[in-house]
Amino acid sequence: MSEVVSRVGVPRKAKQGEIIEIRTVITHPMESGQRINEVGERVPRKIINRFVCSYNGVEVFAADWFPAITANPYLTFYTVVTESGTITFAWVDDDGTVYTASAPIEVT
Amino acid sequence: MRGTRSRTRRGFLRGLGLGAAWLLAAPWRARAATPPPVTPRIEVPKDPAAAIKSVIGDAKPTKGKVALDMPYITETGTSVSVAVKVDSPMTEADHVTAIHLFADGNPVPRVASYQLGPRAGRAEVATRIRLARSQRVIAIAQMSDGRFWSDTREINVAQGACVDDTEGTLGSGSRSPL
Amino acid sequence: MTKLKLDRRRFLGSAAAVGGGFALGWTVPGTLEAFAQKQVGDAGSEVGIWVVIHPDDTTVVRIARSEMGQGTLTGLAQLVADELDADWSKVRTEFVAPEENLAKKRAWGDMSTGGSRGIRTSVDYVRKGGAAARMMLVAAAAQQWRVPAGECVAADSVITHATSGRKLRYGQVAAAAAKLETPKDVPLKDPKDWKIIGKGVKRLDTAEKLNGSLVYAIDVKLPGMLNAAIAQCPVFGGTVKSFDAAKIKAMPGVHSVVPVGENAVAVVADTWWHAKTALDKLPITWDEGEHATVSDATIAEFVKSGLDGPQAALGQQQGDVDAALAGAAKTVEAVYGTPFLNHATMEPMNCTAKVDGDKCEIWVATQNGDAALAAAAEAIKIKPENVKVHKTLLGSGFGRRGMTDYVRQAVVIAKQVPGKPVKMIWSREEDMQHGFYRPITQCQLKGGLDADGKLVALHARLAGQSILASVAPSRMDNGVDKLAFQGWLADELGYMAVPNLRIDMGVRNTHVPVGFWRGVNHNQNAVYMECFIDELAHAAGKDPLEFRRAIMTKNPKHLAVLNAVAEKAGWGTPLPEGVHRGICQNGGFGSYCAAVAEVSVDAKGKLKVHRIVAGIDCGYAVNPEQVARQMEGSFAFGLGASYFGRNTVKDGRIVEANFDTYEVARMADVPKIEAHVLASGGFWGGVGEPTIAVCTPAVLNAYFAATGKRLRTLPLSQHGVV
Amino acid sequence: MAKIKLKVNGKAHTVDVEPDTPLLWVIRENIGLTGTKYGCGVAQCGACTVHVNGEAVRSCQMPIGQLQGDVVTIEGLSRDGKSHPVQKAWLAHDVPQCGYCQSGQIMAAAALLKQTPKPTDQDIDDTMTNICRCGTYPRVRAAIHTASGNGKA
């Protein structure tokens, strides 16, 4: 599989108690299992089926995804800023591979 | 040189329409790491009603509290922006526990489920989805009091001119014996 | 003269309607302008959503579908006007604007115009629209007279109170009727009461096509408008590596040079000729990508591999074909093939767009106004609500204008020239080399005859390209493109009485984009099936008509048309010396068709088609005169393709760039055509496409009758017979 | 660029264009008459047919610098408030489908009838080489016979 790249948008600094928007995107074909290849064979399903966002180790938001999610899945959601630390992101592929990313956050 | 085209992954990511303002974190070479608890792959019934039932049981969602924002029309349905906003204080006592999305004309009618709680602060998600044909998209919010609220949107997947939207087949007309 | 109204009110009335209910003699008094649509004022009242009635009784019927020559505009107006009991001579039309349809949540239904569905899938709701308007007008008159509505009758745009004899014209009560609620329970007329439906009235859009006044999309003129010429990577899937705008910046009229997506560059100039001239001089380096070595030979080999490859998608099967073939008294086998074909619409692809911030306006010839609107919005990521679409009549479509590639390009160009309208026109060369071609396919057929010469087993294996996999993969059925089997599935095949049957396909998708081409896959599938049935009849020593009859016992409607056409053509009766007949039938797009061709072959081996007798049962024929014209037109389109049409591939690109190498039918190529509209009633079938499938097999079967030779690959020009 | 004078539909125009600009584009873009259509640019399809000194000319291959004579376009075919017999015959036969090629077909037919007032089917085959993708050929043929007074429908 080609290189998988993710990009996450998290403010570097925020006030305690502030609700921040988080944006994430990851390069992934999200092969739906519905398409055929050039000789008519079904291309097997291969999607990211699970996404988890943790804030200093505590899961704050998660998703189950199905084949209708587009290639290079994009997601925005919110979280409450509680303390300085790290927000981590994990995307779980059908093949079991887990792709991760993280971003620091500083409470001002 | 003018007109040179970037075909790199980064160029691609830049092209996704994500505003520069929020691109604060550097692009990550996504890497495999200690997995979070992996849920087994969820099988989804092909029938939309059964797919919904597989998630919310026999609950009957009430229309309201949920605002599903998406276009009424798309050309191909290959990438449709969807935003769901649920009216909730998102407190320990009263919050949204999940937001489920269904598309009743897709081969796999279940689209996504988002788990959230008071730590989310705001019950809002936005994503992009594929729609196979003109159909109804349904957003259902599951609340901490066990109730379900919903919103639906009819969307026209215009799909050129020669694909028949009215019956999902191509050759024959709805009124013809052929 | 009608001008394209730029500051339109709610609707764009560019569908130029012409008074036409009356029979015109061979000489027409006065000028064409006398027949042209008079500018309709603002005074009309909307009676329901489909009809606007003016004080002078002028009745404007709204049309949601597109008009590309097929006559749908007139047919839809007939459907509405009949239920409305309107005076046909007062009927005009206007297009529903796609943004209005969007704002009113598709109140006017589906705008897409393809698959010969323009009329047949909207007959119910447009007739109800007309009937509802009539009920409202009658109710308004009854209220004015203070009588029960049941005592009033409507005819020819006049309401009469039966007992008192009082009369009111539609124009007199339209304003009051417009205020009434649209009735929900709307009964429709019994077909025996139709007055306008089923009549061969003249088209409503003719006069302005005769004096140059009709504004096609390519003719749009706007204040401050610029023009753009575009070059796309000649190899499908390739991209623009670089271009050197500086080299042409100083050329006359050049405004700018802009990238268009990944694979194209456009020059924007004051006139299109300047844009085109500069574009021809623009140094462009292409990244031709992975397909630059693909050629006809590699494609042919790849497609052929699908004839015996294992991954065959199943269309339908009944009985046990393999066993029946093994046990047959006689078996016949043949391989057929047809090439890629471009649409080559008369009006090359073009679109005018103006982008102002997050708002966009386009002027376009499209087969689907809704899709054009959505495509414009998606191309520059703006809200669909911010797009306005001015639909024009189409300089033909044939399926090509159901695609939106050219709309997206125009909008992307216009965005780079903000605030200014830009008209992008493809050169014919771009149009020829960047189409969505009729798929290339081959077909291997096997038939088994019993001792009595009856067909007991039939296997058709297609190999080649799937349209749906290319343009609408989400519409496939568990990975199978059912459309590839057009004419051959249980609902369309006329030979369901063959006890052992298998229809399957080895999909072989090339890099050449394929699309819906008038008649779609019926074109080649009918050639394969109908010529092979003829081969089987010959092998069985039977008359081709008799042979077919024996296997059509489960398909009475197919058979009825075949029998009727055979009779009209005088099948079995003597012909002049050297003239031979061929016959065929096909069901598709909801209609049943058959044809008999009469041909001769001269000493040099050249084919001459003397006459084609053809019939269609489309159930109800809204306008038999126009149905006949569609039959004739489809034959010219289909025969031209079968004689000369072929797009070849070299170095990954389409070779044929213009009509000099991509030849099409001209006057001298089209035989005498006897078109019979055999409408049996009871259903609504399509008419724009179905007949195209029966012209070529009839001719090829007649060629065999004349020569004893089978021509199994198209075009015929490669065999030296045309 | 050069200032070039020409007469179109009886009206004098001066246009400022390169002499190699095809007459078609001068008519459409500089003079603004859009009834004459672009179809191929290589004199194959005939959608751009106009009359130059009464003869049918494919204007896409006629450089304006080489133009000698007066031009009549579809907009100028009818004179003196009366429609041309070809246009009347076209209306009577309901010839056009999409209509895009019909300006050229009508101009070609008018020129044919001027030269050969009673054309045979063979004359029509030989002369009417304009392309119509909708396939209106049988109706074009019938309308030409009507316009010729042959009365053949």
Pairwise CA distance, residues C506 & C708, whole Å: 31
Find the angle CA(D123)-CA(D127)-CA(D133) to the nearest 5 degrees. 120
Of B26-30, C41-45, C354-358, D143-147, minimum mean pLDDT range: B26-30
Is CATH 1.10.1040.10 the classification given to domain C217-289+349-425? no
The residues, any chain, with a CB within 8 Å of residue C524's CB and separated by 6 or more, are C336, C338, C438, C439, C441, C443, C714
Calculate the alpha carbon distances from C351 to C220, C238, C322, C345, D27 in Å. Answer: 9, 23, 53, 14, 20
C259 CB neighbours in chain B (<8 A) are 3, 5
Single-letter residue type at D63: P
CB contact under 8 A, A36 and C309: no
C625 CB neighbours in chain D (<8 A) are 94
Do the bridges between strand C500-507 and strand A5-9 make them parallel or antiparallel, or are there none, so unpaired? unpaired
Closest-CA residue of chain C to B5 = C241
The answer, for A29 touching chain B at a CB cutoff of 8 Å, is no
Pairwise CA distance, residues C324 & B161, whole Å: 41
Torsion angles phi and psi, residue C463, rounded to 5? -140, 135
Q: Which fold has domain C296-341+436-719?
A: Aldehyde Oxidoreductase; domain 4 (3.30.365)
Instruction: Identify the CATH number of the domain defined by range A6-107.
Output: 2.60.40.10
Do the bridges between strand C500-507 and strand D71-72 make them parallel or antiparallel, or are there none, so unpaired? unpaired
Whether residue D63 is preceded by a cis peptide bond, meaning omega within 30 degrees of 0, is: no
Instruction: Give which of A47, A95, A99, A55 is closest to A73, Cα–Cα.
Output: A47
CB contact under 8 A, C473 and A40: no
Single-letter residue type at D61: Q
CB contact under 8 A, D91 and C31: no
Residues A13-38 have a mean pLDDT of 95
User: In the structure, what pLDDT confidence band is assigned to residue C41 with cuts at 50, 70 and 90?
Assistant: low
Domains of chain D are 2-76 (3.10.20.30), 85-147 (1.10.150.120)
End-to-end CA distance of chain C: 44
Residue B9 reports pLDDT greater than 60: no
Q: What DSSP character marks residue D79?
A: B
Report the gap between the CA of C243 and the closest CA in chain B (Å). 6
Selected for mutation to probe chain B from C121, C240, C622 (highest B CB count within 10 Å) is C121
Pairwise CA distance, residues C59 & C46, whole Å: 10
Pairwise CA distance, residues C95 & C75, whole Å: 14
Q: What is the pLDDT of residues C514-556, one digit of tens each?
A: 999 999 999 999 999 999 999 999 999 999 999 999 999 999 9
The answer, for C4 touching chain A at a CB cutoff of 8 Å, is no
Pairwise CA distance, residues C249 & C240, whole Å: 19
The beta-carbon neighbor of B166 closest among C114, C121, C265 is C121
* pLDDT on residue B159: 84
Report the gap between the CA of C231 and the closest CA in chain A (Å). 27
Residue C346 reports pLDDT greater than 90: yes
Residues B43-65 have a mean pLDDT of 96
Q: What is the pLDDT of residues A80-93, one digit of tens each?
A: 999 999 999 999 99
Residue C54 reports pLDDT greater than 70: yes
* pLDDT on residue B5: 35
Please give the helix or strand (H or E) that residue D4 lies within, else none. strand D2-8
CB contact under 8 A, B28 and A8: yes
The answer, for B74 touching chain C at a CB cutoff of 8 Å, is yes
* pLDDT on residue C499: 98
Q: Where in chain C is the domain with CATH 3.30.365.10?
A: 32-209, 217-289+349-425, 296-341+436-719
* pLDDT on residue C474: 86
Residues C611-624 have a mean pLDDT of 98
Count of all residues that appear for chain D in the document: 153
CB atoms within 10 A of CB D5: 9
User: In the structure, what pLDDT confidence band is assigned to residue B168 with cuts at 50, 70 and 90?
Assistant: very low
The tokens of C248 are what? Answer: 């042409």
Q: What is the pLDDT of residues C351-370, one digit of tens each?
A: 999 999 999 999 999 999 99
* pLDDT on residue D150: 77
- Burial class, D66, CB count within 10 angstroms (exposed 0-12 / middle 13-18 / buried 19+): exposed
Closest-CA residue of chain C to D89 = C26
3-state secondary structure of A50: strand
Q: Are C261 and C231 in contact (CB under 8 A)?
A: no
CB contact under 8 A, C506 and A34: no
User: In the structure, what pLDDT confidence band is assigned to residue B48 with cuts at 50, 70 and 90?
Assistant: very high
* pLDDT on residue B10: 41
* pLDDT on residue B170: 33
Is CATH 3.30.1370.160 the classification given to domain B47-157? no
Buried b / exposed e along A46-82 (16+ C-beta atoms within 10 A): bbbbbbbbbbeeebbbbbbbbbbbbbbbbbbbbbbbb
Q: Are C589 and B171 in contact (CB under 8 A)?
A: yes
Pairwise CA distance, residues C125 & C697, whole Å: 37
Calculate the alpha carbon distances from B1 to C284, C587, D146 in Å. Answer: 12, 57, 62
* pLDDT on residue A2: 61
* pLDDT on residue B173: 37
The answer, for C470 touching chain A at a CB cutoff of 8 Å, is no
Q: What is the pLDDT of residues C295-329, one digit of tens each?
A: 999 999 999 999 988 878 999 999 999 999 999 99
Interface of A with C in 37-56 (CB under 8 A): 37-42
Q: What is the pLDDT of residues A43-69, one digit of tens each?
A: 999 999 999 999 999 999 999 999 999
* pLDDT on residue C504: 97
- Report percent pLDDT > 90 for chain C: 92
Higher pLDDT, C583 or B175: C583
Higher pLDDT, C18 or C205: C205
Largest CA distance in chain A: 58
**Side-chain-side CA neighbours of residue B18 (13 Å):** 30
The domains of chain A are located at: 6-107
Pairwise CA distance, residues D75 & D34, whole Å: 9
CB contact under 8 A, C589 and B171: yes
User: In the structure, what pLDDT confidence band is assigned to residue C490 with cuts at 50, 70 and 90?
Assistant: very high
Please give the helix or strand (H or E) that residue C448 lies within, else none. strand C441-449
CB atoms within 10 A of CB C530: 28
Higher pLDDT, C473 or B123: B123
Q: Are C251 and C277 in contact (CB under 8 A)?
A: yes
User: In the structure, what pLDDT confidence band is assigned to residue C22 with cuts at 50, 70 and 90?
Assistant: very low
Residue B12 reports pLDDT greater than 50: no
Give strand pairing partners of A61: A53
Residue ranges in chain D modelled with pLDDT below 50: 153
Residue A1 reports pLDDT greater than 70: no
* pLDDT on residue C126: 98
Query: What's chain B's average pLDDT?
Result: 79
Q: Which fold has domain C32-209?
A: Aldehyde Oxidoreductase; domain 4 (3.30.365)
Query: What's chain C's average pLDDT?
Result: 94
Instruction: Give which of C49, C252, C511, C467 is closest to D18, Cα–Cα.
Output: C252
Higher pLDDT, B34 or C285: C285
Closest-CA residue of chain A to B125 = A77
Instruction: Give which of C501, C465, C452 is closest to C324, Cα–Cα.
Output: C501
Higher pLDDT, B82 or B38: B82
Please give the helix or strand (H or E) that residue C327 lies within, else none. none
Closest-CA residue of chain B to C103 = B72
- Report percent pLDDT > 70 for chain B: 69
* pLDDT on residue B158: 92
CB contact under 8 A, A36 and C508: no
